[in-house]
Amino acid sequence: MTPSFMNTLQQITDQNLADIEQAKAAGRAAIGFYCLYSPTEIAVAAGAIPLPLCGTRNDPIAAAEEILPRNLCPLIKSSFGFAVTDTCPFFRFSDIIVGDTTCDGKKKMFELLSRYKTTHVLQLPQNQDPATALPFWRAELERFRRIIEDRTGVIIDDARLRAAIQLMNRERAARKALMDVNRLKPAPLPGSRLLEVLFKVGFLADKEKGIALMKQAALEATKGTLHADDPKGSGRKRILLTGVPVGLGSDKVVKIIEQSGADVVALENCSGYKQAFAVDEDKDPMDALAEQYLATPCSVMSPNTGRFDLLAEMIRGFSADGVVDLTWQACHTYNIEAFSVDAFIRETFGMPTLHLETDYAESDTEQLRVRIEAYLEML
């Protein structure tokens, strides 16, 4: 990846905190989100800045464990730890935070989080039934729209919603185009670099800046310049990472796979391809948002058939040689679903998966390395 691109990305990232401060001083609200099920379009339609708040670092976890149980998912503990230690500027900037009743740990954590910040929790159905779950979810999003209107003082009419959907679709299209660069063989973008770009762009207050950056990254990658300092042989195994979300600070598995001589060509998780969707721009905007967001293929849904469709499409499209399925410790839904994911991929592609359960600490790095190296040798 060219140093000049990474410098630009870093400069824009550094400037972003000042941009948010300035926007807030000028009267714009900031709204913190914890889950892909929450439609950020509703915040954007109100002129607010949507900020992703899922914790990806290990350092705030010790503080969280003074209140939360230790045997809880590190993503939940990290998110909560940032709040209790007041060490996340994006949490501080948020005028209201938005959660969803996804897994048990997260929804109960939001009850405690509401002691620190105004919190709204969307009641998420546990299945995607169009006859029962969808109308319930549509009503829940309508309630969310009213809450954001009250908070921001902006009436979110259909015209505003349509404009927000168009903007967010353009952002997701740019994310998808960047991720799709790695359909090429050999993959031009190391997974760790792809993750870094996607992660940093996610915080930018100015969506147009993020879109332009991702387009530039994709263009440079396809020309080969991003890869010029990091040539890869075509014999490297191509790994698809599925499972829980990862970000900077919780990306140790991505790094170990790369250090072990393979390429992480695609991320089928909330940090990656689960965000590669487009909301229907021709339908009633609230109907379209409800349908699209409810269809998110996360393990908190039962059943979660969409994940298998997405995995099959991605294994073929990215020519994956292997699949690493990552579960955060104490995440029951991804942990249990790992069995079905492995069975599906064995039956459909004749390929075993590697299921890893870990947390954000570095203590098991060498154990993970041994398992990853053994898996790569087997492929």
Among 56, 58, 101, 102, binds ligand SF4 (CB under 6 A): 102
CB-based contact 96:113 (threshold 8 Å): no
Give, to the nearest 10 degrees, the angle between helix 191-201 and helix 158-180: 160
Among 105, 188, 190, 191, binds ligand SF4 (CB under 6 A): 105
Alpha carbon distance 368, 219 (integer Å): 34
Annotate each residue in 301-330 with x if it binds ligand SF4 (CB under 6 A) or - if it does not, as one string. ---------------------------x--
Among 5, 50, 51, 106, binds ligand SF4 (CB under 6 A): 106
Of 71-79, 136-144, 175-183, 352-360, which segment contacts ligand SF4 by CB under 6 A?
71-79
Give me 90's structure tokens. 């994006």
C-beta of 370: minimal distance to ligand SF4 in Å?
24
* Side-chain half-sphere exposure of 338, counting CA atoms within 13 A: 22
Output b/e per residue, 341-371; b: 16+ Cβ within 10 A: bbebbeeebebebbbbbbbbeeeeeeebbeb
C-beta of 328: minimal distance to ligand SF4 in Å?
5
Give me 119's structure tokens. 């919190």
C-beta of 294: minimal distance to ligand SF4 in Å?
11
Annotate each residue in 125-164 with x if it binds ligand SF4 (CB under 6 A) or - if it does not, as one string. ----------------------------------------
C-beta of 269: minimal distance to ligand SF4 in Å?
7
Give me 215's structure tokens. 């387009």
Alpha carbon distance 113, 147 (integer Å): 18
Annotate each residue in 269-288 with x if it binds ligand SF4 (CB under 6 A) or - if it does not, as one string. -x------------------
Alpha carbon distance 40, 54 (integer Å): 14
* 304: amino acid identity, one letter: N
Q: Is 312 exposed, middle or buried (0-12, 13-18, 19+ CB in 10 A)?
A: middle
Site for ligand SF4 in 12-41 (CB under 6 A): 35-37
- Binding flag, residue 205, ligand SF4 (CB under 6 A): no
Among 75, 218, 256, 345, binds ligand SF4 (CB under 6 A): 75
Residues that bind ligand SF4 (CB under 6 A): 35-37, 73, 75-76, 102-103, 105-106, 244-245, 270, 296, 298, 300, 328, 331, 333-334
